[in-house]
Amino acid sequence: MNGMTVIVKKTTQLIAGIIFLYGIYIILHGHLTPGGGFAGGVILAGAFILLILAFGSDFLHLVREERGSTLYENLAILIVLFLALSGLVAGAGIFFDNWLPHGTPGELVSAGLLPLYNIFVGIEVAASILTIFLALVIFKEEVLK
């Protein structure tokens, strides 16, 4: 694939950043507003997928990209697991315990560990959806060869 026309490329370049920021917003406000790690992660992956679709698969080295996204995915889920395990050592000593101070409800930095879970779940979901997309594209390229 060689990608699409200049118009599409330019528009995508302009939009992708905004979509990316919106995904981050959704993730960070996961404990306050609707949405959260999963929804925000899907939006983040959407920004990447849009770029790949517009610029074509030659532009990005897909296989290397896929390796990176797998790595991020595994790291993120490990961190989520370790956050859950951290409850065993800190605080009340309970798995999945929300041991950080909860703060004032409604503020951005509140709800203890929940924003951290949201952030890493967001990374995990973004990376895994990107991995699935890349795997399908790579498979198609291999079949075409």
In 3-state terms the chain splits into helix, strand, coil percentages (rounded to 5) of 70, 0, 30
Among 18, 21, 63, 85, binds another protein (CB under 8 A): 85
Closest contact distance (angstroms) between CB of 24 and another protein is 24
The type of residue at 51 is L
Closest contact distance (angstroms) between CB of 84 and another protein is 7
Closer residue to another protein (CB): 97 or 141: 97
Does residue 87 belong to the site contacting another protein (CB under 8 A)? yes
Closest contact distance (angstroms) between CB of 95 and another protein is 4
Residue 118 has which token pair?
């949201």
CB 19 within 8 A of CB 102: no
- Give, as one character, the DSSP assignment of residue 55: H
CB 31 within 8 A of CB 47: no
Closest contact distance (angstroms) between CB of 43 and another protein is 24
Does residue 92 belong to the site contacting another protein (CB under 8 A)? yes
CB 121 within 8 A of CB 36: yes
Does residue 70 belong to the site contacting another protein (CB under 8 A)? yes
Which residues bind to another protein, rule: CB under 8 A? 67, 70-71, 74-75, 77-78, 81-82, 84-85, 87-88, 92-98
